[in-house]
Amino acid sequence: MKNFFNILLTFSFFFLLTLTSSLRSSTLPDLIESLTSSVVRIETTNITKQNPHITGDPFFDEFFRRQFGDETRPRTSKGLGSGFIYSADGYVVTNFHVIEKANDISVVLEDDNRYEAEVVGTDPRTDLALLKISGDIALNKVKIGDSDKLRIGEGVIAIGNPLGFGATVTTGIISAKGRYIDGLGTYVDFLQTDAALNRGNSGGPLFNFNGEVVGVNTAIAANGQGIGFAIPISMAINVIKDLQNTGKVQRGWMGVVVQKITPEIADSLGLKSTKGALISRVLNDGPAFKAKLKRGDIILSINKNKVLTYEDLPKEVGKLKPGTKVSLVILRDSKELDFDVELGDIPEPKITQATKSDAAAKKFGIIVNEVLDPSENNKTMILVTNIAKGSSESRIFQKGDVILEINRQVIDNIKSFNLALKKIKSGQNCLFLIQRKNKDSELTLYKSVKSN
């Protein structure tokens, strides 16, 4: 009798498994069919003026300029990406990097009808952009889900335009949540998925099996397989609404530069753990400066939300608007203190007129600009804005680096920069002090390079 019930139980289990599989196989195509009409192809055109004799090597470029002059010709390049219809009145969401350099943007629907798009607003800090198409169009908008409720292992569907092949569907699972990807967004906790993503999927939607958008596909791991990343829709939706309403995103700004607390730093400061965000700079006249925060303070929490790593702080601050008052718990001299800070607006550096440095291009293959930093009372600084392609310096400098010193000589404007370069002899090693902010933290690097 016992064996009979075991056999019956086993049979029932396999029957239910087969029935579930059959139902899924029949309903999944129906679901996908209902979703594809809300996914679009983004086509871009970028027209630039280019000197056909430029090679990227400063020595040969100077030679060709002397021979042929600064001849330029228009060069047209095409770009592809994906997006999805956010609203029935023509708003379309995609990635900022998809349309960043575009002169013309077209949105192509599932039926191959093409519409010119205007840029409503962009947010490079989260790599999101909102477009608008107009006309007598019947649009099928997406349903917005809740990415906060996603669980590891939950099934997802990616639909997009990989490699220009048109509407392509891949499925997978949520592999991880809360991923921080260096250089991909200070304010984003990425979703990781093994649904196959390729170049051209950028900006396309990641759906759950209820047909709701839970992410915006953004990046892949270049040297991996089955590792893709999406912006969680619960974070993205706030950005999208701001862009729709005002064309820009306003974020709170505290006016501090924070860095990771390494075990070595924790040991030297007598800390029991590496949790928190260590303030390495307090910017003059910023909100933190006015609230009397100091360099060396450790931020433990903001509005009762624990700051476990230094990346947590800009994400929490970025969720809030300028003018918002936040409460902080600070560790200073082994004592926990409470501070209230009123957040400000993120200042943007302004480029001055004195931007040219021929010496920089010839010696190191870099283009530098003198900029005004409003966060430091419009203090001038030297910013690396471009690097010669394929040069050895491309492994040392990064766009956005601020050059503070050369061979221990302070650099604060183009004049002092050029004077320092003149002192460097051919083949001589030189020492750069570089401030790097690509992670909203100060990373001081000493690099030894050879001039040409």
How many CB atoms are located within 10 Å of the residue 71 CB? 13
How many residues in total does the chain contain?
452
Options 38, 61, 97, 312, the catalytic residue: 97
From the list 130, 56, 118, the residue with the least C-alpha distance to 389 is 56
Burial of 302 from C-beta contacts in 10 A (0-12 / 13-18 / 19+)? buried
Give yes or no for a contact between 341 and 326, defined as CB atoms under 8 angstroms apart.
yes
Take residue 92 and report the two structure tokens written for it.
């379309």
Options 61, 123, 127, 242, the catalytic residue: 127
**Is 297 designated active site?**
no
Grouping H, G, I as helix, E, B as strand and the rest as coil, residue 148 is: helix
Q: Which helix (H) or strand (E) is 178 found in, with range? A: strand 168-179
From the list 130, 159, 142, the residue with the least C-alpha distance to 217 is 159
How many CB atoms are located within 10 Å of the residue 301 CB? 20
From the list 325, 341, 445, the residue with the least C-alpha distance to 397 is 445
- Rg of the chain taking only CA atoms, in angstroms: 26
Distance of alpha carbon 229 from alpha carbon 192, whole angstroms? 5
Distance of alpha carbon 59 from alpha carbon 56, whole angstroms? 9
**Is 53 designated active site?**
no
Take residue 36 and report the two structure tokens written for it.
């594809």
Specify the residue for token string 């501070």. 339
Distance of alpha carbon 212 from alpha carbon 232, whole angstroms? 12
Give yes or no for a contact between 71 and 51, defined as CB atoms under 8 angstroms apart.
yes
Grouping H, G, I as helix, E, B as strand and the rest as coil, residue 140 is: coil
**Is 61 designated active site?**
no
Options 38, 82, 175, 202, the catalytic residue: 202
Q: Which helix (H) or strand (E) is 22 found in, with range? A: helix 2-35
Q: Which helix (H) or strand (E) is 313 found in, with range? A: helix 312-318
Provide the annotated active-site residues.
97, 127, 202
